[in-house]
Amino acid sequence: MNQLVSLADIQQAAARIRPVARVTPLLDLSPALPASSGAKRLSVKCENLQPAGAFKIRGAYNMLAQLDEAERSRGVVTYSSGNHAQSLALAAHLLGIRAVIVMPTTAPDIKIAGTRRYGAEVLFEGTTTLERKARAEAEASARGLTMVPPFDHPWIIAGQGTIGLEIVDQCPGVETVYVQVGGGGLISGIAAAIRRVKPTFKIIGVEPAGAPKMSTSLKAGRPVTLPRTASVADGLLAVRPGDLTFVHVQALVDEVVTVEDAAILGALRWLFGEAKLVVEPSGAITVAAALGGTGGRFDGPAVAVLSGGNVAPEAFARYLTGPDRL
C-alpha cells in the first residue's frame, strides 16, 4: 500500500494546478436517460472543457511545476497518442520549458496540430506505446531531457486524482463512478482520491473491447503486454498498463469492464444529441458503459468522466452520421 498515491499528495496537487486547470462542471443528464439505461441517475464530469481539451493538463502541470531549475532548463520529453502531448506542451509553454513529444505515426492531425501550437517539437515513432516510449527514452538520454511519463508516475497520478476530489465535492451522494482506462493514470488518481474520502463508492474502469490491457492484466495478476490493440477510442490504445497504475487499480478499483466500438459511438451521438457536448470516442466510453448497464445496474447516482474532446470536425461528423464501425 505504500506505493499508492496519498490523499495529501492529491490535495497538494489540487493547490498546485489551481491557476491552470479548471474545476470542470458536473452536468446532470438524468432527464435524458433512455428507459433501458443501466444508470437511473447519471451526471458527466466535463474534462473535455479543460485547457488543451482533456484531463491530462492536471497531471502534466502537476509534474512540471515540481521540477527543479536544472531539470527545467534542460527541457522535457514525453510520449503520447495525443492528449498528454497537447497538455504537456501547454504546461511547458506556461512554465517556459522546452518540450519534445514523441507521437505515433497514426496520431490524429488535430492532436498533432494542437501539440505544435503550444511550441513543442513533435517526433513520430511507430504505432504502439512501447515504440513511442523507447524513442522518448533515447531522446532523453541523448539530449539530457527529463522524462514526463503519460501515466505511470506518482506526480501524474496525483494530478489526475484531483478530479476525484471534485466529483465528491460536486456530487457527494454519488454511488458509482465510471472512469476510462488507457495506461491507467486517470483511474488510479481518481480511485486514490475517492477511496480515502468516500470508500463506499463503486469505481468501474472502462476500456475498449479491442484494447483490454488492464482487464487482461488483472486476470493474470500482473501487468500484461497485448500483441496489438484496435479501437475507435484512439486515446485508450496502450498495449500495457503501467506498473504503478496496475498496483493502484488492483488495490482500489472494483471492476474493469470492456465496451465495443458500436456502443462507444452510440454514446458519443447521445451526448451530442441530448447535451450538445463534443466528446471524442475515448471520452464517451464511460457513458457507453453506464447506458448499457456494463458493470451492473444501480439506482443510485452515477458519474461518468468525459476525459476529452479533441476530435477533428470531419471525424466527428463521420461518427455522428456514419456506421457504428469505421
CA dist 244 and 261 (Å) reads 28
**CA gap 248, 242 in Å, rounded:** 10
d(C-alpha 297, C-alpha 320), whole Å:
27
- Cα–chain center distance at 110: 17
Work out the angle between the directed axes of helices 313-321 and 261-275 (0-180°, nearest 10).
Answer: 100
Known catalytic residues? 56, 307
Q: Which of 204, 207, 263 is nearest to 230 (CA)?
A: 207
The alpha-helical segments, DSSP class H, found in the chain are 7-17, 57-64, 69-74, 83-95, 109-117, 129-143, 154-170, 185-197, 213-220, 243-252, 261-275, 281-292, 313-321
Tell me the three state secondary structure of residue 105. Answer: coil
Tell which phi-psi region holds residue 172, choosing left (phi > 0), alpha (psi between -120 and 50) or beta. Answer: alpha
In this structure, are residues 189 and 161 in contact, taking their beta carbons and an 8 Å threshold? yes
For residue 219, the number of C-alpha atoms closer than 13 Å in the C-beta half-sphere is 8
